[in-house]
Every structure is written in C-alpha cells, then in structure tokens.
Amino acid sequence: MDFIFVLVLGALWGSFANVCIYRLPLEKGVVSGRSFCPNCKKLITWKDNIPIISFLFLRGRCRNCNKKISSQYLLVEAMSVLLFLIIYIIYGLSITTLLLLILSLSFLIIFFIDFKHYIIPNVLTFSMMLLGFIKSFLPSLHPMFPNYINSLIGGIFGYGIIWSIIFFYKQIRKKEGMGLGDAKLLSAIGFWFGWFSIPFVIFLSSIIALLSVAPSLINKSKKFSSQIPFGPYIILGTLIYLIFESNIRSIIFY
C-alpha cells in the first residue's frame, strides 16, 4: 500500500515538474491557470491530465488537435516515480526521505530546463540554497548531510570555484565560459552536502560532460568553444557522488 502511495505521489509531482519545466523559462506562474495544449491552446480536461496514464491512453497526442505531445512529459513523470520509489525504499519514512524528494524534484526540473534553454532559474537555486542551509540545523540527520558550518563553507566554496573559473576564463579568452547559474547550482549542492562533496562533483561532472561531447568534437559537429548546458552534468555528477559517498569517505578517512 505504501508503494502505491509513493508511486502516485511521484507521478503527481512529476506532472507538477512538467508544468515548471514549461512555464519557468517563459516566466509564467506555475500555479496560475489550468494546463493547455501548446499547439491548439485548448484547456486539457482532468481525464486527459492523469500523469503517465493519459499520455499512454492518448498515444502521446492531443485529443483536440491530434498534435503529437513531446515524450518529455512521459519521461519526466516516469523519472519522478522512479526517484520517489528508490528514495523511499532506501530511507523509508523519514526526514531524510522528505528532503531528498524535494531535492530530486528540483534536480529534475533544473535538468530539463537547462538542457533545453541553457538557463537555471534563480527561484530554484536560491530555494535549494536556503533549504540546504536550514536543514543543517536539524538534529540527527543522515550522515550525508553536514552540520551548519560545513554547509556554509560548502555553499561559499561551491559558488566561489565556479565564479573563479568564469573570471579567469574571461580574462584569458575575453568571453564568457560558464554561467552564474552553474555557480549557484554548485553552491546549492555545497549547502546540501558540504565542502567535501564539491571537488568530487566538479570532477565527475567534467568527466561526464567530456565523454558526452567527445563524439561531437571528433566528428566536428561541435567545437571546444560551443555552448553546452553544464547544469545537467553537475546534477549527474552529484547523483554519482551520493551513490558512492559512504565508500569515498571510508577510503579517504580510513
């Protein structure tokens, strides 16, 4: 019964994530107005707005204009369900679970917005920074979460290291290299997981980004100076770090 509840909850919040992914880059309110088809602008009825089920039932098309709906909607909702289930299975009913559910939803929204629009909305990163620091004052949290001093240092370190890269790149190449949205995202991760996480997240995200764009560089469809959204790689690097966090700490502090 608990799994069904978590599954439904994940699907519902995945649907909300889709709203945020569509509306935030357009600077529209995420809770104002009902959902509508981007093509024909007709309002979507409740029966056509059931997460995952409606998409599959309508075969990925709008009931009114028969225009194909992006499979991203299904993907986001399915990923949300998967993340909610994994977190619940590992951490059960706890404050840690609640915190990680909020973080995973924020990551999901940022991933798809930055991947498509090359921006990371401040409303998301600033909220993550604030919550990441506030939760460091809570007692008896999971060891992955730092105390408030470590959290504060992590937030400053995360922002500072990306800001430094931006500054020195601009001095040398006379143009922007990365965006401050990446600095704010890494700062939020520092607030959540402390200064210790930052070097590993940067290293992992850089390796993933390099492996991802390497084929494009080889076939010359992209150049080293081509713009890429780095936020998704930071998120992937953070997820990999969290999977192996306890192993990393045990090796280093053995």
- The b-or-e profile of 2-21 (16+ CB within 10 A means b, else e) is eeeebbebbbbbbbbbbbbb
Query: pTM score, two decimals?
Result: 0.91
- First-to-last C-alpha distance (Å) of the chain: 41
- The b-or-e profile of 176-202 (16+ CB within 10 A means b, else e) is ebbbbbbbbbbbbbbbbbbbbbbebbb
Tell the burial category of 80 from Cβ atoms under 10 Å away from its Cβ (0-12, 13-18, 19+).
buried
pLDDT tens per residue, range 59-105: 888 888 888 888 999 999 999 999 999 999 999 999 999 999 999 99
pLDDT tens per residue, range 241-252: 999 888 887 777
| Percent of residues, the chain, with pLDDT higher than 90 | 60
- pLDDT of 254: 60
Alpha-helical segments (H) within the chain: 2-23, 53-57, 72-91, 95-117, 122-134, 148-173, 180-193, 197-218, 231-243, 245-252
Give me the mean pLDDT over the 155-177 stretch.
Answer: 85
Helix, strand and coil content of the chain, in percent to the nearest 5, comes to 70, 0, 30
Cα–Cα separations (whole angstroms), residue 226 to 49, 150, 173, 213, 223: 38, 35, 13, 10, 5
Q: What is the mean pLDDT of the chain?
A: 89
> Rounded to whole angstroms, how far apart are CA atoms 2 and 202?
36
Query: Can you name the residues that pair with 43 across neighbouring β-strands?
Result: 36
Dihedral Cα 83, 17, 230, 211, nearest 10 deg: 40
Listed range (101-110, 140-149, 186-195, 222-231) with the worst mean pLDDT: 222-231
> Rounded to whole angstroms, how far apart are CA atoms 185 and 126?
9
Cα–Cα separations (whole angstroms), residue 234 to 22, 92, 142, 221: 21, 26, 22, 23
The pLDDT-based confidence of 253 (bands split at 50, 70, 90) is low
Any idea which residue has 């504060």 for tokens?
152
pLDDT tens per residue, range 24-45: 998 887 776 677 777 787 788 7
The pLDDT-based confidence of 224 (bands split at 50, 70, 90) is low
| DSSP 8-class letter at 167 | H
pLDDT tens per residue, range 117-129: 999 999 999 999 9
Tell the burial category of 240 from Cβ atoms under 10 Å away from its Cβ (0-12, 13-18, 19+).
middle
Give me the mean pLDDT over the 154-172 stretch.
Answer: 90
> Residue 185: in which H helix or E strand, if any?
helix 180-193
* Single-letter amino acid, residue 195: W
* Closest by CA position to 120, among listed 192, 188, 213: 188
C-beta separation of 141 from 98 below 8 A: no
Residue scoring higher pLDDT (151 or 33): 151
Contacts of residue 169, Cβ cutoff 8 Å, sequence gap at least 6: 175, 176, 177, 178
